[in-house]
């Protein structure tokens, strides 16, 4: 075992841990050692068992067998509270908040700074929260109510909670899933600082480059089983992928012959006061247009206004030459527009319903000849999509809530992609899904475009935008700062515009 | 700057506004409504309900409810009568403490079923509503004492109930003290904030390491003690007790709490709001006969207010949620 090459006792260690949920064996014999000063990556496909490891370390689940050791001593956490008291902090994959309370209270719940007489020191609490947000580079208002925050902001709160906990062992379950490269880089700086001061970190991400940038060591899981553990510097990208997927993944992005047709979606002068200003662009049939920008730059808001879930103060949206009414999503759907929302867990999935029901919800007609839903068709449809996206599930009749985070994403994605619209707006389509499924999603988007669909792709993952888009629009603080052709677009040009250095986009192309 | 805060005080302001309107209209019809005696009575009548509402708020904030309050109150009122029958010289403070202890015990029973056995509070307290009332009647018929009158109680006890300091009734003072303590604790203590957290999102509360079971249990006990105290005060104020004291009070209390802006699904609201809600509803009830509304309409007021407040809350909630969502990109400090 590793003990010979590291004489020091790990802060936290899992030894041969197993865990089952009814028939699903989520973990079978996983061992993992987290050492002071080290950032440890945990890699694996969706459903490999990463979050289950996290929940065991955090005291949410108890292992069926095997042991958890803290400073070399066996411990048993029977609730999250036990783990927290022993210096463990967890950033959860699905952030959950207290919607009625302020942002600062969410960050500090249970560990609010106190002053005389055990009173909560609100001033200090707000200051503390503002400081953490400053460190993370996301200026959230500590006094605002948490209800209604975007996924990215919720993720920032989730991270802030772990930072103020002053923990020795920090577990980060896909903290960067909703963040763009700039915020992620800030987080890494903070994480490295924590490690330097002697904390042990566990980091989970589906973005390999992030693992290489941040982590010292990696452990790979596949189907709940331990595959390998290695120093990050001693494993190549290809080897890592092969360990995770069990095969090599040749090409992350499909090669596409770009043959754009006529303008399908034309947006002109779109304005929503306080959110974005004078946004003009168009998407042609068969074209994939990327929309890049930092968290909070207003990309999702533009998408929502185009689709009509939010109203607009000025500007026009036309689809196939017909103007769309403001604030009327039904009209947008009728005109052939589909929006895959950013917040899929809240807006796209019915957690209590079976998986098969969720996949068919948007296409009930197809599975319901003569108006009666046929379960066999529903199941066949779900199975076909599950196969295509590599969905990992127990039974299709299980509630969607039992799926791993990434697999939930796949279900929603499949549901919307198959409605076959003429304009598809996808907001962060590959967030939280593993590399194998990413390839599938990319292939699918490219296929859909080849069939003549106009695709607007919002993504915080720069390589994805660069690899997929025929044209890249960049937003900064509610304005379009650049429109780049495939040739012009690269990491520098996009980041330059995303941080507010670009000119306004070339108006001519929007006509 | 503090949006959460301004929303809350908005609700309290509108209750005060409604209160002023009701008082003004009624005083216009009958000026004696705002005489010192009239105001004195108004506060006195509201005090007992306010005490119950303060306890109930602790529970509703955590997404729980106690429907057994009327029965517990009846039980402790009857207990105080029985204590005087046993020894007519029993000190007032002993009766109060005994009432609070019995109330706390009832609360502990409810709380244990909710927090430990994980039975929904609605079910548990609907059951104990009848169980506690049954014990009350059982006690009365076992001892053959169906009614206890003023002459069987100590004069100190009776004069405490109707007495006042500087024109403020004792009962109102007690309600104010309870209000001050509960309001302070809910706003300033970690355990107080944790009650909001539990009601706002129970799963997140567990992940945040909040001992939810213990907090909910404690809330039931504290609320029970306040209800127990209210029963004793009821006895000392009215001077006649039978086994049916407090029947139907749960409706008035829940209505007061909800009218006061405490969200029925937990997570938000203040004890000040609840107490103001109690004051508003008792004032409306008191004003109705003066305005010539037949007495049988009075019970309907609480129910109507409850429905109105819940619908209003729902509408406001949706609007606020929508606004917050839309404001999310405007988040610079
Ligand atoms: N509460 C549960 N009930 C039933 N099955 C569960 C439960 N939690 C997890 N599972 C199953 O356990 C397996 C591992 O899930 P886990 O959440 O650990 O995956 P993961 O590696 O975190 O995946 P992702 O990358 O998608 O987040 C999955 O097959 C999942 O369906
Ligand atoms: Mg996971």
A135 in a structural domain: no
Q: Which ligand is nearest to the CA of A224?
A: 1
A123 in a structural domain: no
The answer on A505 and A456 residing in a single domain is: yes
pLDDT in tens, A158-171: 999 999 998 999 99
- CA A337/CA A424 separation, integer angstroms: 6
Q: What is the pTM of this model?
A: 0.82
Number of structural domains, chain A? 3
The answer on A452 and A385 residing in a single domain is: no
The answer on A291 and A426 residing in a single domain is: yes
The answer on A255 and A212 residing in a single domain is: no
CB contact under 8 A, B328 and A153: yes
CB contact under 8 A, A140 and B199: no
- CA A45/CA B24 separation, integer angstroms: 69
**For chain B, which residues make up each domain, given as ranges?**
2-332
pLDDT in tens, B223-255: 999 999 999 999 999 988 988 888 989 988 999
Closest CA of chain B from A140, distance in Å: 6
Axis-axis angle for helices B212-238, B155-162 (nearest 10):
110
Residue B249, class by beta-carbon neighbours within 10 Å (0-12 exposed, 13-18 middle, 19+ buried)?
buried
| Ligand 1 in reach of A30 Cβ (< 6 A) | no
The answer on A255 and A240 residing in a single domain is: no
Chain B partners within 8 Å of A101 (Cβ) = 4, 193, 196-197, 200, 267
A78 in a structural domain: yes
Q: Is B181 on the interface with A (CB under 8 A)?
A: no
pLDDT at A409 over 80: no
List b or e across A198-220, with b for residues whose CB sees 16 or more CB atoms inside 10 angstroms.
Answer: ebbbbbbbbbbebbbebbbbbbb
A109 in a structural domain: no
| Ligand 1 in reach of A386 Cβ (< 6 A) | no
The rounded percent of chain B whose pLDDT value lies above 70 is 93
Instruction: Check which CATH number belongs to the domain holding A299 and give it.
Output: 3.40.50.300
Contacts of A121 (CB under 8 A, 6+ apart): A112, A113, A114, A115
A310 in a structural domain: yes
pLDDT band at A250 (very low <50, low <70, confident <90, very high): low
pLDDT in tens, B137-163: 999 999 888 888 888 888 889 988 888
The answer on A263 and A162 residing in a single domain is: no
For the segment B298-306, the average pLDDT, to the nearest whole number, is 79
The answer on A256 and A174 residing in a single domain is: no
Which has the closest alpha carbon to A496: A275, A277, A293? A293
pLDDT at A360 over 70: yes
- CA B128/CA A257 separation, integer angstroms: 73
Average pLDDT score, chain A:
86
pLDDT in tens, A457-469: 999 888 899 999 9
| Ligand 1 in reach of A52 Cβ (< 6 A) | yes
- CA B192/CA A77 separation, integer angstroms: 26
For the segment A73-85, the average pLDDT, to the nearest whole number, is 93
Instruction: HSE, CB side, 13 Å, CA atoms: give it for residue A163.
Output: 26
| Ligand 1 in reach of A61 Cβ (< 6 A) | no
Measured by CA distance, the residue closest to atom 8 of ligand 1 is A402
Q: What is the fold, at CATH topology level, of the domain defined by B2-332? A: ABC transporter involved in vitamin B12 uptake, BtuC (1.10.3470)
More confident residue, A148 or A501: A148
The answer on A178 and A69 residing in a single domain is: yes
- CA A199/CA A206 separation, integer angstroms: 23
- CA B49/CA B227 separation, integer angstroms: 9
Instruction: Give the pairing of strands A217-222 and A225-231.
Output: antiparallel
- If you ran DSSP here, which 8-state letter would residue A247 be given? S
Q: What is the ipTM of this complex?
A: 0.85
Domain boundary among A230, A246, A262: A246
The answer on A396 and A262 residing in a single domain is: no
CA dihedral A175, A145, A400, A362 (to 10 degrees): -110
More confident residue, A35 or A416: A35
Domain boundary among A227, A246, A265: A246
pLDDT band at A439 (very low <50, low <70, confident <90, very high): confident
pLDDT at A284 over 90: yes
Q: Which residue range(s) make up the domain with A359? A: 350-420
What's the pLDDT at A2?
Answer: 41
Best probe residue, ligand 1, of A30, A42, A51 (max atoms within 8 Å of C-beta): A51
Chain A partners within 8 Å of B1 (Cβ) = 143
- Say if CB A378 and CB A356 are below 8 A apart: yes
């Amino acid at each position: 075992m590793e003990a010979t090459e590291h004489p020091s006792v790990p802060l936290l260690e899992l030894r041969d841990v197993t865990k089952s949920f009814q028939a699903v064996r989520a973990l079978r014999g996983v061992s993992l050692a987290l050492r002071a000063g080290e950032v440890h990556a945990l890699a694996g496909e969706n459903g490999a068992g990463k979050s289950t490891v996290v929940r065991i370390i955090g005291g949410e689940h108890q292992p069926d067998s095997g042991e958890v050791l803290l400073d070399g001593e066996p411990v048993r956490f029977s609730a999250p509270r036990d783990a927290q008291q022993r210096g463990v902090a967890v950033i959860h994959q699905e952030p959950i908040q207290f919607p009625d309370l302020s942002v600062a209270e969410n960050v500090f719940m249970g560990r609010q700074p106190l002053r005389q007489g055990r009173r909560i020191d609100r001033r200090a609490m707000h200051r503390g929260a503002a400081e953490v947000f400053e460190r993370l580079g996301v200026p959230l208002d500590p006094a605002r109510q948490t209800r209604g925050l975007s996924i990215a902001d919720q993720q920032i709160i989730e991270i802030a909670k772990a930072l103020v906990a002053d923990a020795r062992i920090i577990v980060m379950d896909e903290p960067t899933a909703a963040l763009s490269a700039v915020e992620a880089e800030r987080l890494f700086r903070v994480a490295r600082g924590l490690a330097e001061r002697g904390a042990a970190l566990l980091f989970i991400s589906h973005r390999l480059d992030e693992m290489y940038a941040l982590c010292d060591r990696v452990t790979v899981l596949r189907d709940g089983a331990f595959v390998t553990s290695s120093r990050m510097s001693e494993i190549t990208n290809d080897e890592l992928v092969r360990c995770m997927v069990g095969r090599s993944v040749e090409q992350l992005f499909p090669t596409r012959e770009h043959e754009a047709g006529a303008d399908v979606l034309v947006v002109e002068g779109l304005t929503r006061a306080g959110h974005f200003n004078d946004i003009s662009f168009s998407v042609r049939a068969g074209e994939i247009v990327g929309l890049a920008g930092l968290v909070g730059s207003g990309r999702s808001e533009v998408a929502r206004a185009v689709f009509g879930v939010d109203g607009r103060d000025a500007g026009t949206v036309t689809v196939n030459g017909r103007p769309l009414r403001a604030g009327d999503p039904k009209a947008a759907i009728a005109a052939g527009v589909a929006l895959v929302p950013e917040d899929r867990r809240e807006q796209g999935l019915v957690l209590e319903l079976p998986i098969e029901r969720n996949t068919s919800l948007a296409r009930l007609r197809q599975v319901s000849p003569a108006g009666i839903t046929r379960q066999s068709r529903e199941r066949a449809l779900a199975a076909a999509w599950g196969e295509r996206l590599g969905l990992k599930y127990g039974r299709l009749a299980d509630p969607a809530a039992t799926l791993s985070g990434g697999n939930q994403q796949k279900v929603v994605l499949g549901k919307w992609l198959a409605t076959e619209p003429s304009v598809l707006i996808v907001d962060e389509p590959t967030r939280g899904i593993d590399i194998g499924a990413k390839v599938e999603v990319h292939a699918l988007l490219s296929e859909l475009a080849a069939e003549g669909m106009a695709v607007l792709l919002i993504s915080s993952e720069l390589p994805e935008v660069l690899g997929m888009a025929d044209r890249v629009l960049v937003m900064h603080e509610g304005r379009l700062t650049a429109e780049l052709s495939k040739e012009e677009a690269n990491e520098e040009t996009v980041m330059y515009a995303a941080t507010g250095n670009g000119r306004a986009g070339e108006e001519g192309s929007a006509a | 700057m503090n949006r959460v805060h301004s929303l809350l005080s908005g609700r309290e302001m509108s209750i005060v506004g409604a209160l002023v309107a009701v008082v003004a209209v009624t005083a216009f019809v009958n000026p004696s409504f705002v005489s010192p005696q009239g105001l004195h009575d108004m506060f006195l009548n509201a005090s007992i309900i306010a005490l119950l509402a303060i306890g109930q708020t602790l529970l509703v904030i955590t997404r729980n409810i106690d429907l057994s309050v009327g029965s517990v109150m009846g039980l402790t009122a009857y207990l105080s009568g029985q204590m005087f029958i046993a020894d007519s010289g029993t000190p007032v403070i002993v009766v109060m403490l005994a009432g609070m202890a019995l109330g706390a015990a009832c609360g502990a029973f409810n709380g244990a079923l909710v927090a430990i056995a994980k039975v929904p509070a609605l079910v548990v307290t609907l059951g104990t509503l009848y169980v506690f009332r049954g014990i009350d009647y059982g006690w009365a018929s076992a001892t053959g004492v169906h009614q206890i009158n003023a002459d069987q109680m100590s004069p100190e006890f009776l004069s405490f109930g109707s007495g006042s300091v500087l024109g403020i009734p004792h009962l109102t003072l007690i309600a104010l003290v309870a209000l001050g303590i509960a309001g302070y604790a809910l706003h300033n203590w970690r355990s107080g904030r944790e009650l909001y957290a539990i009601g706002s999102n129970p799963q997140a509360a567990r992940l945040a390491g909040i001992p939810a079971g213990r907090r909910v249990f404690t809330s039931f006990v504290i609320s029970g003690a306040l209800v127990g105290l209210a029963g004793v005060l009821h006895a000392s104020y009215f001077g006649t007790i039978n086994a049916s004291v407090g029947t139907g009070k749960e409706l008035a209390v829940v209505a007061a709490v909800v009218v006061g802006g405490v969200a029925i699904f937990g997570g938000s609201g203040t004890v000040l709001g609840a107490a103001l809600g109690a004051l508003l509803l008792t004032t409306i009830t008191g004003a109705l006969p003066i305005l010539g509304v037949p007495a049988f309409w009075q019970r309907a007021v609480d129910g109507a207010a409850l429905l109105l407040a819940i619908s209003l809350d729902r509408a406001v909630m949706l609007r606020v949620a929508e606004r917050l969502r839309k404001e999310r990109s405007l988040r610079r400090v």
